[in-house]
Chain A
Amino acid sequence: MPLLPQRWRLFVILLIVIGLPILTGLVWLILTSLFDRVHGLIPQGPFGPENWRFLVEPSIQGRPPVWVALFNSIVFSAAVAVIEVLVSAMAAYAISRMQFPFRRTYLGFVLMLHAFPAISLIIAIFYVLRILGLFDTLMGVILVKASLELPLGIWLMKGFFDNLSWEMEMGALVDGASRWTVFWRIALPMVRPGILALGTFAMLSAWGEFILPFTLIVSGKSWTMALYLQSFMGEAFTDYGLMAGVGLFYVLPVVLFFLLGQKYLLNIYSGGVKG
C-alpha cells in the first residue's frame, strides 16, 4: 500500500471523525445483539445467541415468524423496483421521443407529484385502497410505493433517453425494426446504467420503507421487516437486545446485496453510451 501524500492525511482524519458516530452505532448494534446486557459500549451480561432466538421461534408473542416478514420485504422491494423501472422506462421513452399534446404540462405535473410527501396523501390513499379492495395486502402497498417513486424515475430515465442519438434509432427503423423492437433491443440496453441505478435506489427505498406498510397493512401475514422490527418497541418495556438482533438481521440482506453486486453497481458510470 503506498503511503498517502501528506496533504491527504488531514482529509482522512476528517473522514474518520465524521464516520465515527455511524461506526459507534454499528458497534453498539453488534455488541447489543450478542450479549445479554450492554452498558454504553461495555458488555455486561453473558455472551450468547439469546437475542437471536427470533430466528428459530415460530412466533414471539403472537408475531408472525421473521421469515414471513423477510419474504414479504424481499417481494415488496423486488416488485417495487421492477414496476418502477419498467413503467419509468416506457413513460420516459415516450416523453423523450414522441410528440403528443400537453407533453410539457404533463412533465410539469409529474414533477409536482414528487413534491408531495407520502404522509400527506396517506388518508386519501387509504380510502382508494379500501375501495379497490387492496387494503391490508402487500399488492396494495407495492402499487402505492411504486407510483410514489415514479416521478423521480421518469425524470431520471428521460434524461438518459434524451442523450441517445436519434440517428441510431432511425438506423434501426430502416434496418427493419418496429418501434417496440427499437425500444426493447436498442434504446433499453443503452440506458442500462440508468436502469441499474434506478432499480437499486427503488429497491433500497422500498426495503427501508416504513410509513406506507405501517399505515396500509394490519395483519401479520403481510408484515414487512420494518413492521416486524417496529413491533418490538413497546410502550412500557423494550427488549433492546432482541431489537438489535432483529435490526442487524434486517440490514444483512442489503449488505449482502452490495457485496455481491458491487462489481455491477460500481460499473454504473463506466458503462457509457458513446460508441
Chain B
Amino acid sequence: MSGVTVRIEGLVKHFGRVEALKMLDLELKPGELVAFLGPSGCGKTTTLLLMAGIYKPTAGEIYFDDNRVDQLHPRERDIGMVFQSYALYPHLSLFENIAFPLRLQRVVKSEVKRKVEQTAELLGITEQLQRRPGMVSGGQQQRAALARALVKEPQLLLLDEPLSNLDALIRLSARAEIRRLQQDLSITSILVTHDQAEALAMADRVACFSVGEVQQYATPDELYERPANTFVAGFVGFPPMNLIEGTFNGGFKAKDLGVAVPDGHSGGKGHLGIRPEDVRFDGDILGKVLLIESLGRDALLTLDVGGNILKAMAAKGMESRPGDEVKLSFPQQWLHLFDVNGERLDR
C-alpha cells in the first residue's frame, strides 16, 4: 500500500437550499492522517462522503495524486471506509465480510483466502473469522470493519467516527492501534470525529470544521496553542478555554476585571481567552469560588472574577470552598486575543 496525495479544490455541496459545505480547499500529504473535527452538522461527514463518491459535489474538484475523481463511481476510486456502525453485513461471516470487496473484484479464490487471513491476522481476529458479526464483541466488529476496508489495499482510508461505539477503555487501545497500523501501512487517511481528544491524539493534522467551513487546518499542537478564532479556541481542549467578552484599551477590561495583555491588538471590543489550566493561583486578581468539581487528580473551579464567570484548574489539595475568595493571575504568554469577530489578533 502506498499513500496518495489528496487535493480538494473549491469543494461545495448543497442539499436543496441547505449549504452543507460552503467552500473547502484542503491538501493531504501521502501517508498523512488528517482528522476532520467538528460538532455534528458541521460538514465533516458530508466531505467524507464526497471523497467516497456517495455524494456528487455541487461544485469543486477532488484529486487523488493527479487524477480527478469527484465524478467517478465509488468503486473507481480505490478507497476503504469504516463507518460508525461498522456496517458489517449481518448475514455473512466475518470472513465473507472481509472478502466482499475482493469477491467484487473477482479475485481468484486462493488469493482471497490468503489476503483475508493475512489482514485478519494483522488485526488479531483470525479466531473469529467463521462467526457472524452478531456473535462477536464490539471491538472485534470494529476490527473486522477495518479489515474489510484495508483488505483491498486502498490508496485512501476513510474513517467515519470509527471509535465512538466502543467502550471508553477499548477506545483508547483501538485509537493507538489504528494509528500504528496506519503508520505501518503509510496509507493516507481521513478520520472524522467530534471527539477533540481523539483528533489531537491520532492525527498529523486536524481540520476543524464549523457550519460548513474549515476554521483552521493545522497540527494538533498549533491548534491547541494558537487557535485561529474563538470557535476553535472553544472547541479544542477540555475543559474548554475561557472566552471573556470585553474591550481592549492598552489592557483588557471586562466588567470589573482588568487584565494586562501583550501588544498586538489595536483597541476596541474583542475577546480574551485563557485555558482553565493556565490560570495561576497567585497574583492580584480577586475571584470568588462558586463551584468545585473534582476531576480526580485536579479540581475544576468555577469562579466569579469581576462579574465574569470563569473556569480554572486547581491542583488537588488546594483548600477552598464555595464562597471563598481566591487570588489569581493570568500569565501573559498564555493569553489568547481575539477581535470582535472572533478572529485571532496575532502576536
Contacts and interface: CB of A to CB of B under 8 A. Distances in A.
Co-complex (A, B): yes
A182 to B, nearest CB: 10
A170 B49 contact: yes
A173 B75 contact: yes
B300 to A, nearest CB: 37
Interface in A224-275: 272-275
A167 B74 contact: no
B85 A167 contact: yes
B80 interface: yes
B247 interface: no
Contacts of A167: 83-85, 87
Contacts of A170: 49, 52, 54, 81, 83, 87
Contacts of B152: 175-176
User: What does DSSP make chain A's interface, helix, strand, loop or mixed?
Assistant: helix
Given A165-B87, A170-B49, A275 B134 contact: yes
B83 A181 contact: no
Contacts of A70: none
A24 interface: no
Interface string A164-175: 010110111111
B240 interface: no
| Chain A interface residue number, banded | 20 to 34
B88 interface: yes
A275 B86 contact: yes
B75 A171 contact: no
B288 interface: no
A177 B104 contact: yes
B85 A175 contact: no
A204 interface: no
Contacts of B101: 175-176
B81 A165 contact: no
Contacts of B91: 189-190, 192
A196 to B, nearest CB: 14
Interface string B135-169: 00000010000001000100000100000000000
B120 interface: no
A275 B148 contact: no
B250 interface: no
A173 B54 contact: yes
Contact of B90 (A172, A173, A175, A275): A275
B64 to A, nearest CB: 14
B84 A275 contact: no
A178 interface: yes
A186 interface: yes
A175 B158 CA distance: 12
7 tightest CB-CB pairs across the interface, nearest first? A275-B90, A176-B75, A171-B87, A175-B101, A167-B87, A167-B83, A176-B104
Interface of A: 165, 167-168, 170-178, 181, 186, 189-190, 192, 272-275
